Amino acid sequence: DNLVKVAKLVKEAASKGAQVIALPECFNSPYGTSYFPEYAEKIPGDSTEVLSKAAKDNQVFLIGGSIPEKDGDKLFNTCTVYNPEGAMIAKYRKMHLFDIDIPGKIRFQESETLSPGNTFTTFDTPYCKIGVGICYDMRFAEMAHIYNKKGCKLIVYPGAFNMTTGPAHWELLQRGRALDNQLYVATVSPARDETASYHAWGHSTLVNPWGSVITTMEHEEGVIYSDVDPNYVDEVRSQIPISFQKRNDIYKVEEVEENGKKA
Ligand SMILES: NC(=O)CCC(=O)C(=O)O
């Protein structure tokens, strides 16, 4: 059902002028560790073929939310990205697994069935460079900082916060990452399904480099639209030039080398 919905909604968004479209975390699977093995697919596979076709048919960049990915005997929470020709131009595996335990509220351990990825992922568009993270990744300021250093003007986080952390942290984190790095931050959540075991907070949102929420929604299914203006990123950065004012002589955020390669 969700694959059919993707084809329909991407077409609808493109017909209204969208050029870059993003889907939610785990859009082809219920969000829950017991579901991931059942719904996991290889990449390429049925779900990613639908994404590739939707991008090509509608001539858009498509950030395909995420799916549980099966690779050998491991599962990952993986986002794939397509260009308007339908080619997969990026693949990102969630680096920071959502393992939390808030007594009486929520315990969730993605690591029960998923493994973490180890690679930062950005891609170029004619509009700007875009960085990809998934949900819990948004809590890690250093990751967004590295995307800023790599030249991104937009970071997209498909994400499914919950009814405990959503109201408290969802918007605050996006505004924080946007303001820290003076770039746009977009989050895309699944709609809330009251019959599911995990109740998503919803509230897909776009925040601008000034830290202002420029578009958002509630928790029902829907599509939201907004312009991203890469020139506005430059404007804010020249007005408040924090990137030049960092005391790199005293502290520095940098990618570590892993096995001789950048992480
Ligand atoms: N899917 C996730 O990573 C959820 C993250 C979350 O809810 C949080 O509070 O962080």
| pLDDT tens sequence for the chain (263 residues) | 999 999 999 999 999 999 999 999 999 999 999 999 999 999 999 999 999 999 999 999 999 999 999 999 999 999 999 999 999 999 999 999 999 999 999 999 999 999 999 999 999 999 999 999 999 999 999 999 999 999 999 999 999 999 999 999 999 999 999 999 999 999 999 999 999 999 999 999 999 999 999 999 999 999 999 999 999 999 999 999 999 999 999 999 999 876 556 55
Atom from ligand 1 closest to the CA of residue 161: 7
- Ligand 1 neighbours, Cβ below 6 Å, are 25, 98, 135-136, 139, 159-162, 165, 169
Distance (angstroms) between ligand 1 centre and the Cα of 33 equals: 13
Distance (angstroms) between ligand 1 centre and the Cα of 168 equals: 12
The b-or-e profile of 118-151 (16+ CB within 10 A means b, else e) is eebbbbebeebbbbbbbbbbbbeeebbbbbbeee
Does 246 participate in catalysis according to the annotation? no
Q: Which one is catalytic: 70, 91, 94, 153?
A: 94
Under a CB-based contact definition with an 8 Å cutoff, are residues 7 and 51 in contact? Answer: no
Does 25 participate in catalysis according to the annotation? yes
Q: Which one is catalytic: 110, 135, 153, 171?
A: 135
pLDDT computed for residue 256 by the predictor: 85
Under a CB-based contact definition with an 8 Å cutoff, are residues 146 and 170 in contact? Answer: no
Distance (angstroms) between ligand 1 centre and the Cα of 117 equals: 16
Residue 112, number of CB atoms within 10 A of its CB? 12
pLDDT computed for residue 257 by the predictor: 72
Does 135 participate in catalysis according to the annotation? yes
Atom from ligand 1 closest to the CA of residue 139: 10
Residue 153 token pair: 């003007």
Q: Which of 96, 111, 135, 170 has most ligand 1 atoms within 8 Å of its beta carbon, as the pocket-test mutant?
A: 135
Angle at 131 between CA 72 and CA 23, to 5 degrees: 70
Which amino acid residue places its CA nearest to atom 1 of ligand 1? 160
User: SS3 for the chain, per residue?
Assistant: CHHHHHHHHHHHHHHCCCCEEECCCCCCCCCCCCCHHHHCECCCCHHHHHHHHHHHHHCCEEECCCEEEEECCEEEEEEEEECCCCCEEEEEECCCCCEEEECCCEEEEHHHCCCCCCCCCEEECCCCEEEECCHHHHHCHHHHHHHHHCCEEEEEEECCCECCHHHHHHHHHHHHHHHHHCCEEEEECCCCCCCCCCCECCCCEEECCCCCEEEECCCCCCCCCCCCCHHHHHHHHHHCCHHHHCCCCCCCCCCCEECCEEC
- Complex ipTM more than 0.90, yes or no: yes
Which amino acid residue places its CA nearest to atom 5 of ligand 1? 136
Q: How far is CA 252 from CA 145, 164, 207, 249, in A?
A: 10, 33, 25, 8
CA–CA separation, 93 vs 69, rounded Å?
Answer: 9
Distance (angstroms) between ligand 1 centre and the Cα of 35 equals: 17
